[in-house]
Amino acid sequence: AIHIGNTDIYADYAQYNPSTHDVELRGHVRIYRDTSLYIADSGIYNTETKRIRAVTARTESQPYFLSGKQVTSISDNAYLIKDGNFTTDDSPKPDFHLHARTIRVYENDRVIFQYVTAYVGKVPIFWWPYLYQSLNEAFSFTVSPAYLSSWGPSLLTQVTFPITAHIRGRLRLDYRQRRGVAVGFDSTIDYFNDSQARIKTYYLQDQNPLLNETAIPRKDVPTGRYRLSLADTTNFTDDIYGITNLTKLSDPYVMQDFFQGEFRIDPVPDNVLAVAKTDPFYTLTAIERFQANEFFTTTERSPEVVLDIKRHGLFGGPIFYEGETGLANLRLQFPQDSGFENYGTYRFDTFHQLTYPNTYFGWLSIVPRVGYRGTYYGKTWDLGSTMFIPPSNPLEPNFILPPPTLANPVKFDGDTFRSVFDTGAEASFKISRKWEDVQSRAVGLDGLMHVIQPFTNFSYVKEDGPNPTAVLGFDRFQPSTQPRAIDFPQFTSIDSIADWTVWRVGVRNRLETRRDDATITWLELDSFVDVNFENPYEPTDYSNLVNNLRFTPLPWMSFQINSQVPAFDKGFTEVDTIANVQPIANLQLTVAHRYLNGNPFFDNSSLFVVGGYYRIDDNWAVGVQEQYEGATGVLEQQRYSIYRDLSSWVASFGGVIRDNSGSKEYGVIFTITLKAFPKFGFDLNFDPSSEGE
């Protein structure tokens, strides 16, 4: 045994050369330096330079392991390995390793490989001429044999790796028997002031571009299909930042066919550039929005500049001011060959509002408000030459024109200026009562306090200008099942403003208890209804009665019902229910139901969703999800999965069955994912259509 500073050397035989300061080592050589271990058959250690030269050696620096025919120390905490192997699997026969002609290791920093081959067991699966591996960033490799009826038998592969300390890359190489070979490269770039850019590319020469597992017919889909996207956030200074979201697609179906997970969240990707200056009192924003994909409807803003003044006290007094002023060059671009006519104009809009929040008698909160909005339009519809048939459904707004068509174009009129006056008031108060003797560990109660908060909001809006139907619609009213905002600036459909007088009345009930030295809401129920003296968006005397219930008795149990029913007048019924429970540590269950009936804009629905995840032990887990539409009697989706932790790898096997309005789609996938460091977590994914997102 030899002890030199922070280095301990053990060998069967050692001989020291005082002229060269080399220690020759033979037999069962082990060198411990700091937290690193070098093991070799023989080697040479220099006591002056601390360089190590070893033959047929391996080194261990958790959580990675290296071996090679020759190891040479090139500096402190850095060494060169020739004909070497790298793995994160601590076993005599690792299930994954990288073999390289040369490996340069800089401990706690990076590993650089040249001419490297990736092996699963003894099977080579990838080769790179150069590979940079950060020891602080995760490296992952995924191989996914899959089957989807619209793809055929498929193999999806991806490698995620650091390129530099601030750039990470992901290489995709996919094969689909019915589609062909696809290649993609994604990159994440971190740069100054916590700024980040994310680039995604994907391309394939589709052998069956018209292949369609839905009931909607397709035509004119190119064989060369691609997606290019850039999502960037740049922090120029502490108060100036820029946002870029750009997406170029080959056709309107490429995301639906190959990135269904993203498609479900954002079926029409946006293309927008924005720069914003923030301040405690205001935000100044410049926006450029354009139609990069001619098959999607886009409201172009070329450009739009908006000054948003946040609510603040005027001159330190009790009256508060807020406002918003914007200038925009707007154009509504419809898809090519849609038959609709594009239109555009300039718009200047300015909004100003004063509020006077105060508390009376120590318990009654009243916030009156008064505001003004002025809007200039460079162009309007010529209603004298336009035939407009009001909708027959009493729940539909009767002043919003359908888009003009090329066959029956709408003629334009001159410019106009519209004034909008708004006023109203909000009021609320609270009463409460405590029951300290209410105690129950079973339902998580440590005392109980009931808080009742009646509230009301009266809103009056008077529009003075052109007929609201004549206003060109850009920021226009969009139908929704949710109650609309009745205040400014929360109501943002500024091109669909008409006279309204609405009185919203409701009550909020909360049951609160103590837990972990904090007050938590055990149960909450919000109820309200709108009295429509005049409401062009909902032409009935009363809105639906809205009830939102949230019940969280325990950290592992939650229950929520959001409902609205036509209690006082004509309307529609909607009840959304979801329950989540984790009765034991390894079991999670979810049950949800959506019921919708009688809405003029949306189909009736009675959708049931049931799902669960069970962790059998440290190595095995199973998952299931079922989605059934009761209105049509269709089992829309079935998903089943099995997960297996394989030390350095995670394997999952699953299947999915979808019924797309009569056309069924089947999918099966087997995924193996390399965990860079076994102590790190992993994502579970068994849906082939969303693999790699």
For residues 603 and 121, what is the distance between their CA atoms, to the nearest angstrom? 53
CATH 2.60.450.10 fits 2-134, yes or no: yes
Whether the Cβ atoms of residue 169 and residue 206 lie closer than 8 Å to each other: no
Q: Is the dihedral of CA 482, 486, 487, 488 positive or negative?
A: positive
The set of long-range contacts for 16-25, using a CB threshold of 8 Å and a minimum separation of 24, is: 16/47, 20/46, 21/46, 21/47, 21/48, 21/49, 22/46, 22/47, 23/47
Confidence tier at 516 by pLDDT (50, 70, 90): confident
Single out the residue of 251, 236, 137, 253 nearest to residue 192, CA to CA: 236
Q: Is the pLDDT of residue 88 over 80?
A: no
Reported as a single tens digit per residue, the pLDDT across 602-629 is 889 999 999 999 999 888 899 999 999 9
Which is higher by pLDDT, 283 or 61? 283
Q: Is the pLDDT of residue 85 over 70?
A: yes
DSSP, residue by residue, 520-580: EEEEEEEEEEEEEEE-TTS-SSB-PEEEEEEEEEETTEEEEEEEEE-SSSS--EEEEEEEE
Whether the Cβ atoms of residue 637 and residue 657 lie closer than 8 Å to each other: yes
| pTM of the complete model | 0.74
Instruction: Name the least confident of 106-115, 165-174, 458-467, 514-523.
Output: 106-115
Q: Is the pLDDT of residue 56 over 70?
A: no
Q: Is the dihedral of CA 659, 665, 668, 671 positive or negative?
A: negative
* Spans of all domains in the chain: 2-134
For residues 569 and 579, what is the distance between their CA atoms, to the nearest angstrom? 30
Average pLDDT on 35-53 reads: 69
Q: Is the pLDDT of residue 245 over 60?
A: yes
Single out the residue of 513, 417, 432, 422 nearest to residue 470, CA to CA: 417
Q: Which two tokens stand for residue 309?
A: 């003044």
Tell me whether residue 532 is exposed, middle or buried, using C-beta atoms within 10 angstroms of its C-beta: 0 to 12, 13 to 18, 19 or more.
buried
Q: Is the pLDDT of residue 689 over 60?
A: no
Single out the residue of 438, 461, 448 nearest to residue 371, CA to CA: 461
Tally of CA atoms within 13 A in the half-sphere of 485 that contains its CB? 11
Reported as a single tens digit per residue, the pLDDT across 210-233 is 888 777 778 889 999 999 999 999
For residues 621 and 302, what is the distance between their CA atoms, to the nearest angstrom? 52
| β-strand partners of 580 | 558, 590
Tally of CA atoms within 13 A in the half-sphere of 660 that contains its CB? 15
CB within 8 A of 361, min separation 6: which ones? none
The CA-based diameter of the chain, rounded to the nearest angstrom, is 107
Q: Is the pLDDT of residue 139 over 60?
A: yes
> 470-500: b or e for each residue (b if 16 or more CB lie within 10 Å)?
bbbbbbebeeeeeebebbbbebebbbbbbeb
* Average per-residue pLDDT for the chain: 84
Confidence tier at 563 by pLDDT (50, 70, 90): very high
CB within 8 A of 460, min separation 6: which ones? 422, 423, 424, 500, 501
Q: Residue 278: how many CB atoms within 10 A of its CB?
A: 16
Q: Which two tokens stand for residue 557?
A: 């149990």
For residues 651 and 103, what is the distance between their CA atoms, to the nearest angstrom? 29
| β-strand partners of 197 | 189, 232
For residues 175 and 151, what is the distance between their CA atoms, to the nearest angstrom? 9
Q: Residue 539: how many CB atoms within 10 A of its CB?
A: 16
Confidence tier at 312 by pLDDT (50, 70, 90): very high
Instruction: Name the least confident of 453-462, 483-492, 682-691.
Output: 682-691
Confidence tier at 687 by pLDDT (50, 70, 90): very low
Confidence tier at 578 by pLDDT (50, 70, 90): very high
Tell me whether residue 461 is exposed, middle or buried, using C-beta atoms within 10 angstroms of its C-beta: 0 to 12, 13 to 18, 19 or more.
buried
Which is higher by pLDDT, 305 or 97? 305
Q: Which two tokens stand for residue 332?
A: 């509504």
Confidence tier at 686 by pLDDT (50, 70, 90): very low
Give SS3 for 673.
strand
Reported as a single tens digit per residue, the pLDDT across 630-660 is 988 888 889 898 988 776 667 788 888 888 7
Q: Is the dihedral of CA 113, 117, 118, 121 positive or negative?
A: negative
DSSP, residue by residue, 40-61: EEEEEEETTT--EEEEEEEEEE
Q: Which two tokens stand for residue 172?
A: 């995709």
Single out the residue of 109, 49, 54, 125 nearest to residue 84, CA to CA: 54
Q: Which amino acid is residue 576, in one-letter code? A: D
CB within 8 A of 628, min separation 6: which ones? 607, 608, 609, 634, 635, 636
Three-state SS string over 309-365 comes to: EEEEEHHHCCCEEEEEEEEEEEEEECCCCCCECCEEEEEEEEEEEEECCEEECCCEE
CB within 8 A of 197, min separation 6: which ones? 187, 188, 189, 191, 230, 231, 232, 233, 234, 244
Whether the Cβ atoms of residue 226 and residue 249 lie closer than 8 Å to each other: yes
Q: Is the pLDDT of residue 388 over 90?
A: no
Which is higher by pLDDT, 395 or 446? 446
